[in-house]
């Protein structure tokens, strides 16, 4: 229900939808038997998709109403192009404006018999081509025996994607540098990984080549990755000639060891990704990091310790951290490595330049080492999500019994449930363990520049007590959803800069009135999928939060609101109360002059109160532009459908 010009906007939207649909029909007819997915109106050039088209008869089609030189992007993927060069040796001769060509999984072959596939004349006419994808053509081995003039006509080529083309049995050959060196414009290659084969001397002369991607995880089906990417060992010579490369990814490629000086000649390297080499181990990888140059900024080591084996959990040692101390590392990712703890001195040895740290999907336990994380003086974000759960994400996907389903119209609480809820008061304390240490006796220190911390989807299982954080911090975003934080006592001290809090889906029913009081700059608050029906009816939870703009209280079994729940929120823009048990909206909102959306869908609303209608009129009258949307879908009366 749109408060401003709803019927007019609906007509406009329907007209636009109809015109767009007709436009799509015209474009599709233009490019028949393929589909025009977009058009540049200024230049009259098209993006065309012929992907998975059974009508092509194994070659490039003739288009119904457009010419070849009007196409800038052409997708021929997932077709059997066995007749690609049967009619002409130069099938792309007229595609003079083509910039991107996708020939993924098109059964390309070199000329081996009477069936013609591709050779050094196939790409004649593609002088403006910038991106070529010929990957997943398993009969197209590209080695040092490949015709060196194969891509000579691609004088503007910048990106060549050619993984899953060269079986590992070509081990007696090497990378086709003789082919690539004849493409001086080449900046990026995606290739298969040969075991024990170094990159040849030709790479020293490829001054524009910056990105090399060797990625077994792109192989399809994935279980065939050892046939195309199985490097086993990176020796001192393997990468020696990649002197111009700035971005190197060797992912899911069977690496088991890396020599100490493996990266010594990669003087321009800024990004290194060794993820999913699950037999490598963090300890083995770290031995080679002393050969990294200072310019390295991004390091990804996800899933390099076998997560499904019966080995011991991983401890980040001081030695591991020290191997990176000489670098200018900005981002470090250690996801999915069974990490349990960190040696106290390791934080001090990590690069002072580190700003972003991701250690999600590990096995961290609360320990004394956490008090030393403040030594990461430039850290801005840390992702600790999915900890102590391994791969068992399905737990959080199960609807809990206290949550209203979208497929069911909000069943009301029973009288017993209502009776029990009344017994809950602000005097109820969160349970404390026998060895509980009074929080006032401990002050937590955060890295002074830390702005975001994510502990979502983790098996924390503790209440949020009254505790203290040193005020010398920059914390703005706290993501703690799905973490069994079932009782919010607080208040948390030292969080005056916090702007975003997400505590969704924590089974919480007890919240102290002052829990949010020390967050004066809070702007976005996400509390959906809890059991806050009592606290929002009986407490002014947000009395100290004048800056809130967005609040989500959906799926909380709320039947009523405290009349002054939102009394101090003058900057509110979005309120989500969907999927509750609301009978009426009790809280006054006339002061919310910026409100654009009030969602009360899937509730038990019988009517809008006189006060709410008055407040909505006041809000609308207070501004000249901008609509206010009131969503009352699936409430009690057909008036709201």
pLDDT value at 228 more than 70: yes
DSSP string spanning 249-308?
EEESS---EE-TTTTTT-TT--EEE-TT-TTS-HHHHHHTGGGS-TT--EEE-TT-S-TT
- What value, to the nearest 5°, has the Cα angle with vertex 199 and ends 198 and 202? 140
Read off the pLDDT of each residue in 498-525 and give the average, rounded to a whole number.
96
Q: Which of 97-106, 307-316, 436-445 has the lowest mean pLDDT?
A: 436-445
Model confidence at 543: pLDDT above 90? yes
- Give the residue with greater pLDDT, 318 vs 490: 318
Q: Tell me the pLDDT band of 3, cut-offs 50, 70 and 90.
A: low
So what's the pLDDT on residue 419?
41
Would you give the distance in Å from CA 582 to the centre of its chain? 35
115 pLDDT tier (thresholds 50, 70, 90): low
* Chain segment 579-588, per-residue pLDDT in tens: 999 999 989 9
Tokens 């029913």 correspond to: 509
> Per residue in 420-443, pLDDT tens?
444 445 567 787 766 666 666 678
The string of pLDDT tens digits covering residues 348-370 is 999 999 999 999 999 988 777 88
How many CA atoms lie within 13 Å of 187's alpha carbon, on the beta-carbon side?
6
pLDDT at 569: 97
Strands 510-511 and 500-502: unpaired
Q: How far apart are CA 228 and CA 290, in angstroms?
A: 29
> Residue 302 CA to chain centroid, in angstroms?
15
Strand, coil or helix: what is 141?
Answer: coil
Q: What per-residue confidence (pLDDT) applies to 405? A: 36
pTM for this predicted structure: 0.86
pLDDT digits (tens, 9 = 90+) for 274-302: 999 999 999 999 999 999 999 999 999 99
Q: Provide the pLDDT for residue 440.
A: 62
Would the pLDDT of 306 be above 90? Answer: no
**Residue 591 falls in which region: left (phi positive, over 0), alpha (psi -120 to 50) or beta:** alpha
Gap between the Cα atoms of 332 and 357, Å rounded: 5
Q: Is pLDDT at 406 greater than 50 in this prediction?
A: no
pLDDT tens-place string over residues 119-154: 899 999 999 999 999 999 988 888 888 888 999 999
Instruction: Identify the pLDDT of residue 307.
Output: 62
Per-residue confidence (pLDDT) for residue 14, from 0 to 100: 40
pLDDT of residue 432: 74
pLDDT at 412 > cutoff 90: no
pLDDT tens per residue across span 35-60: 998 888 778 899 999 999 999 989 99
The yes-or-no verdict on residue 617 having pLDDT over 70 is yes
- State what percent of residues in the chain have pLDDT above 70: 85
Average pLDDT of the chain, as a whole number = 86
What pLDDT sits at residue 243? Answer: 96
Cβ neighbors of 183 (< 8 A, separation 6 or more) are 151, 152, 154, 155, 157, 160
* pLDDT score, position 367: 76
At 611 the pLDDT is 92
CB 566 within 8 A of CB 598: no
Percent of the chain past pLDDT 90, that is, above it, reads 63
What average pLDDT does the segment 168-193 reach?
84
Quick one: which of 366, 334, 327, 381 has its CA closest to 350?
Answer: 327
Amino acid 170: pLDDT? 60
- Predicted confidence at residue 309, as pLDDT, reads 65
Q: Cα torsion at 348, 353, 358, 359 (round to 10°)? A: -10
Residue 121: predicted pLDDT: 93
Mean pLDDT is lowest, of 11-20, 126-135, 342-351, 612-621, for 11-20
Where b means 16+ CB within 10 Å and e means fewer, 332-359 reads bbbbbbbbbbbbeebbebbbeebbbbbb
Structure confidence at residue 276 (pLDDT): 94
Q: Does pLDDT of 7 surpass 60?
A: no
Within a 10 A sphere around the Cβ of 596, how many other Cβ atoms? 15
pLDDT of 6 reads 45
């Amino acid at each position: 229900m749109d408060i401003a010009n709803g019927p007019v906007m609906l007509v406009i939207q329907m007209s636009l939808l109809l015109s767009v649909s007709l436009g799509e029909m015209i474009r599709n007819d233009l490019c028949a038997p393929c589909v025009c997915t977009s058009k540049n109106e200024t230049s009259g050039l098209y993006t065309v998709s012929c992907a998975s088209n059974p009508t092509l008869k194994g070659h490039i089609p003739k288009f119904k109403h457009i010419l070849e030189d009007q196409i800038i992007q052409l997708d021929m993927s997932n077709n059997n192009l066995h007749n690609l060069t049967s009619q002409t040796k130069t099938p792309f001769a007229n595609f003079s404006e083509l910039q991107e060509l996708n020939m993924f999984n098109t059964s390309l072959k070199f000329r081996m018999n009477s069936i013609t596939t591709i050779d050094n004349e196939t790409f004649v006419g593609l002088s403006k081509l910038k991106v070529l994808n010929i990957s997943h053509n398993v009969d197209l081995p590209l080695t040092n025996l490949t015709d060196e003039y194969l891509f000579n006509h691609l004088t503007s080529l910048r990106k060549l994607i050619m993984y899953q083309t060269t079986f590992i049995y070509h081990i007696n050959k090497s990378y086709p540098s003789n082919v690539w060196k004849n493409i001086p414009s080449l900046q990026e290659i995606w290739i298969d990984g040969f075991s024990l084969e170094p990159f040849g001397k030709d790479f020293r002369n490829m001054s524009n080549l910056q990105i090399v991607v060797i990625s077994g995880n792109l192989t399809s089906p994935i279980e065939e990755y050892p046939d195309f990417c199985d490097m086993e060992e990176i020796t001192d010579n393997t990468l020696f000639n990649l002197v111009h490369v700035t971005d190197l990814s060797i992912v899911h490629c069977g690496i088991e060891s890396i020599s100490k000086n493996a990266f010594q000649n990669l003087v321009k390297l800024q990004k290194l990704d060794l993820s999913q080499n699950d037999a490598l181990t963090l300890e083995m990888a770290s031995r080679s990091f002393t050969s990294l140059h200072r310019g390295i900024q991004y390091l990804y080591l996800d899933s390099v310790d076998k997560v499904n084996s019966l080995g011991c959990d991983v401890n980040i040692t001081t030695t591991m951290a020290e191997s990176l101390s000489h670098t200018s590392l900005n981002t470090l990712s250690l996801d999915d490595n069974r990490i349990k703890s960190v040696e106290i001195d390791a934080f001090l040895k990590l690069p002072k330049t580190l700003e972003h740290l991701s250690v999600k999907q590990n096995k961290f336990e609360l320990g004394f080492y956490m008090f030393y994380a403040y030594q990461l003086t430039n850290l801005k974000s840390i992702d600790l999500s999915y900890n102590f759960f391994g791969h068992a994400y399905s737990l959080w996907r199960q609807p809990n019994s206290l949550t209203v389903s979208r497929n069911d119209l909000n069943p009301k609480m029973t009288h017993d449930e209502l009776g029990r809820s009344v017994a809950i008061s602000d005097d109820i304390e969160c349970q404390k363990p026998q060895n509980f240490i009074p929080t006032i006796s401990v002050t937590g220190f955060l890295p002074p520049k830390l702005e975001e911390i994510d502990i979502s989807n983790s098996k924390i299982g503790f209440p949020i007590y009254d505790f203290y954080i040193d005020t010398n911090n920059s914390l703005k975003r706290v993501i703690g959803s799905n973490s069994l934080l079932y009782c919010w006592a607080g208040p948390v001290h030292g969080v005056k800069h916090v702007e975003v809090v997400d505590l969704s889906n924590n089974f919480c029913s007890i919240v102290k009135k002052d829990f949010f009081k020390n967050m004066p700059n809070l702007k976005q608050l996400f509390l959906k999928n809890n059991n806050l029906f009592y606290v929002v009816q009986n407490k002014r939870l947000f009395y100290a939060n004048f800056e809130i703009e967005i609040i989500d209280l959906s799926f909380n079994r709320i039947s009523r609101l405290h009349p002054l729940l939102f009394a101090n929120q003058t900057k509110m823009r979005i309120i989500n109360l969907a999927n509750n048990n609301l009978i009426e909206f009790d809280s006054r909102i006339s002061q919310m002059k910026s409100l654009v959306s009030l969602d009360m869908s899937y509730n038990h609303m019988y009517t809008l109160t006189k006060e709410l209608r008055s407040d909505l009129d006041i809000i609308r009258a207070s501004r000249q532009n901008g609509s206010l949307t009131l969503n009352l879908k699936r409430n009690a009366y057909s008036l709201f459908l």
